[in-house]
Amino acid sequence: MPLETPARIVRELTSRGYNADREAVTLLASAPDPVGALDRAVESAPEDALKLSADHVRRTLDGNGDESDDPSVSTGNADVSSGPRDGASPVETEGSASESTQGRSDGAGVTTSRSVADRSVAIDGDVTDESTGTGEYEDFVSVFRDRFKRLSGQLRGRVNARPTNAVAEMPGGSEAAIVGMISDIRSTASGHWLVELEDTNGTFPCLVMKDREFADVVDELMLDEAIAVEGTLADDAGILFVDSLHFPDVPRTYSPSTADRHVQAALISDVHVGSQEFLADAWSRFADWLHTEEAEHVEYLLVAGDMVEGVGVYPDQDEELDIVDIFEQYEQFSEHLKEVPGDMEIVMIPGNHDAVRLAEPQPGFDEELRSIMDVHDARITGNPSTVTVEGVSVLMYHGVSLDEVIAELPDGKASYDDPHKAMYQLLKKRHVAPQYGGHTRIAPEEKDYLVIDEVPDIFHTGHVHKLGFGKYHNVTAINSGCWQAQTAFQKSVNIDPDAGFAPIVDLDTLDVTVRKFV
Ligand code: D5M
Ligand code: FE
Ligand code: ZN
């Protein structure tokens, strides 16, 4: 087997029961005879060693008189396009690591290990082991009360709201404000909009006239989301004529936190190992690139769900399975994860193809799956979770509700081509899955884990297999693409996936660069 790329070295080492730190892998890959160097390094490794160190590899290479003063390293001579980009089609950067090696004259110029000392990762809002839901009616009541309490809290500062039953007692013609969850939206015969708001005391009908300047946000409204309205009561006090409408939203002045040093994170999702369409070559090119000097600052890898293709997720899915056993799919996924540098910090949440409960919030993988995926000490957390990486908070959510936002809203406001715009809507509604009872399955819990309490610095989703990113009120929204080519279903509905791209975020500037590996 030719061993010229880091990922192949890693695979060969794992097959012999070894891990190696990143610099060791680079040294082996750039040795004049990688096969011989690897053999010698393994043979001379201390008996109890599980991991080959760079020093050990260097000694092995030295001892054999290899040209260790001038190791040539594979740098991956890719062009970089950086800077934030709002929408548009995937970019253009050939991020794939070059197969050829490139000599360096500075001798010591091998990639150094990533600086583990500065790392920090904290996780919030994880439902794993906290689930209280029993599926009883009372759970639905409590999850909705909690949603209302938290979102109305965000809205109350904005308007002087009264409970619906108190508004019903006010004299006709009074000014009034209501905070409520939308229980119904209807257009009237004359083209106006009747929006019914519900709070813990009852419901109240609110009328948005079609000629009002804010009437164009009515098509953004989804059932069960919380909003505030101000207006004037009709003469008989039976309806409120809306004068202004407010979403919980992200303040326009939101100022995101950034890392104190130059460090980057790769944000990916939807690997779909086990599917016939899984792009193993593109994945290996990505993993190879992570071993290059160009990627030396990429210290974090966030994976937003759909590690594997799963079984029985969609009708006729089995016809496109490469691996039919779910555990074997995770074992294979784990093999692919081993290709990425061992000194990267990895965080993973599940998606709708993963073997955890489908209803959101989804707990992280159970012990059995964790033990299969315990490569590189990856952190496993629920969907959604807020992961704070070196001070930068990243709200990770797989993204099933994006299908719903895209289906319900007009194209200009949310579409598969601009998935980040659908993400903006979730930020505006401060809830990752606003609508209950539709396409997105929601499990009732004592508390609503799906409310976006704190504004994140980065919002990371996947699921729709389209790449898109942009800023919403200074929050960086990134929908990662996927590692699965178009499936028969996607072909039948004209979904053209963005497969084999990795968005890379600079955590110190929040700039995004997209790397292409296909
Ligand atoms: O879903 C990837 C995207 O494709 C997401 O937008 C849902 C859609 N999709 C894929 N297969 C189906 C079927 N069979 N029915 C409905 N929608 C589908 P993912 O869940 O990541 O495969
Ligand atoms: Fe997916
Ligand atoms: Zn999915």
How confident is residue 351, by pLDDT bands cut at 50, 70 and 90? very high
488 CB near ligand 1 (under 6 Å): no
Tell me how far the alpha carbon of residue 157 lies from the centroid of ligand 2, in angstroms.
38
Residue 109 has pLDDT above 50, yes or no: no
E runs forming strands in 191-280:
193-199, 202-208, 226-233, 240-246, 264-268
Tell me which residues have their CB within 5 A of the ion that is ligand 2. Answer: 270, 306
What number is the average pLDDT over the span 490-516? 96
Q: Whose CA is nearest to atom 9 of ligand 1?
A: 490
The angle that helices 326-338 and 280-290 make with each other, rounded to 10 degrees, is 30
Q: Is the dihedral of CA 342, 466, 500, 392 positive or negative?
A: negative
In the DSSP assignment, the letter for residue 171 is: P
Length of the chain: 518
Counting Cβ atoms within 10 Å, is residue 176 exposed (0-12), middle (13-18) or buried (19+)?
buried
How confident is residue 5, by pLDDT bands cut at 50, 70 and 90? confident
Q: Whose CA is nearest to atom 19 of ligand 1?
A: 463
For 415, the 3-state DSSP assignment is strand
For 379, the 3-state DSSP assignment is strand
As a three-state string, the secondary structure of 47-70 is: CCCCEECHHHHHHHHHHCCCCCCC
Tell me how far the alpha carbon of residue 209 lies from the centroid of ligand 1, in angstroms.
37
Q: Which atom of ligand 1 lies at the shortest distance from residue 317's CA? A: 14
Tell me how far the alpha carbon of residue 464 lies from the centroid of ligand 1, in angstroms.
7
Quickly list DSSP for 66-127.
Answer: -STTS--B---------S---SSSPP--B-SPPSS-B--SSSS-SPPPP-GGG--EEEES--
Tell me what pLDDT residue 29 has.
81
Tell me what pLDDT residue 42 has.
83
Tell me what pLDDT residue 139 has.
81
Lowest mean per-residue pLDDT among 25-39, 254-268, 283-297, 322-336: 25-39
Lowest mean per-residue pLDDT among 77-81, 436-440, 450-454: 77-81
**What are the b/e assignments for 469-502, b being 16+ CB within 10 Å?**
bbebeebbbbbbbbbbbebeeeeeeeeebbbbbb
Query: What span, in angstroms and rounded, lies between the C-alpha atoms of 287 and 385?
Result: 25
**Cis peptide leading into 361, omega within 30 of 0?**
yes
The per-residue pLDDT for range 385-414, each reduced to its tens digit, is 999 999 999 999 999 999 999 999 999 999
**Phi and psi based region of residue 135 (left: phi greater than 0; alpha: psi -120 to 50; beta: remaining):** left
For 490, the 3-state DSSP assignment is helix
Higher-pLDDT residue of 495 and 240 is: 240
Query: What span, in angstroms and rounded, lies between the C-alpha atoms of 180 and 195?
Result: 10
Residue span(s) of the chain under CATH 2.40.50.140 come to: 138-246
| Residues 310, 369 contacting (CB under 8 angstroms) | no
Query: What span, in angstroms and rounded, lies between the C-alpha atoms of 385 and 394?
Result: 8
| Residues 345, 293 contacting (CB under 8 angstroms) | no
**What are the b/e assignments for 89-127, b being 16+ CB within 10 Å?**
ebbebbbbbbeebeebeeeebbbebbeeeeeebebebbb
How confident is residue 99, by pLDDT bands cut at 50, 70 and 90? very low
Tell me what pLDDT residue 105 has.
32
Pick the CATH number of 138-246 from 2.40.50.140, 1.20.1440.230, 3.30.420.40, 2.40.50.100: 2.40.50.140
- Tell me the C-alpha to C-alpha distance, in Å, between residue 302 and each of 75, 124, 232: 23, 15, 48
- Report which secondary-structure segment, H or E, holds 419: helix 419-429
> Token pair 């178009």 is at which residue?
486
Residue 503 CB neighbours (<10 A) = 24
Q: Whose CA is nearest to atom 2 of ligand 1?
A: 464
Q: Whose CA is nearest to atom 6 of ligand 1?
A: 464
Interior angle at CA 110, CA 106 and CA 111, nearest 5: 135
Q: Which of 404, 495, 496 to mutate to test the pocket of ligand 1 (most atoms within 8 A of CB)?
A: 495
How confident is residue 85, by pLDDT bands cut at 50, 70 and 90? very low
- Residue 336 φ then ψ, to 5°: -70, -35
Q: Which atom of ligand 1 lies at the shortest distance from residue 402's CA? A: 6
Tell me which residues have their CB within 5 A of the ion that is ligand 3. Answer: 306, 351-352, 463
For 180, the 3-state DSSP assignment is strand
Tell me how far the alpha carbon of residue 84 lies from the centroid of ligand 3, in angstroms.
25
Q: Is the dihedral of CA 217, 221, 227, 233 positive or negative?
A: positive
To the nearest whole number, what is the mean pLDDT of the chain? 88
| Residues 270, 305 contacting (CB under 8 angstroms) | yes
How confident is residue 141, by pLDDT bands cut at 50, 70 and 90? confident
Residue 288 has pLDDT above 60, yes or no: yes
Q: Which of 277, 405, 489, 492 to mutate to test the pocket of ligand 1 (most atoms within 8 A of CB)?
A: 489
Tell me how far the alpha carbon of residue 182 lies from the centroid of ligand 2, in angstroms.
30
Q: Which atom of ligand 1 lies at the shortest distance from residue 464's CA? A: 6
Tell me what pLDDT residue 301 has.
98
270 CB near ligand 1 (under 6 Å): yes
Here the tokens at position 69 are 């003063």
Residue range 261-516, CATH number = 3.60.21.50
Query: What span, in angstroms and rounded, lies between the C-alpha atoms of 148 and 166?
Result: 18
Q: What type of residue sits at position 500?
A: G
Residue 352 has pLDDT above 60, yes or no: yes
Residue span(s) of the chain under CATH 3.60.21.50 come to: 261-516
How confident is residue 65, by pLDDT bands cut at 50, 70 and 90? very low
Beta bridge partners of 52: 20
Contact partners, residue 39, CB within 8 Å, separation at least 6:
none
The angle that helices 6-15 and 326-338 make with each other, rounded to 10 degrees, is 120
Here the tokens at position 266 are 């790769």
Residue 67 has pLDDT above 50, yes or no: no
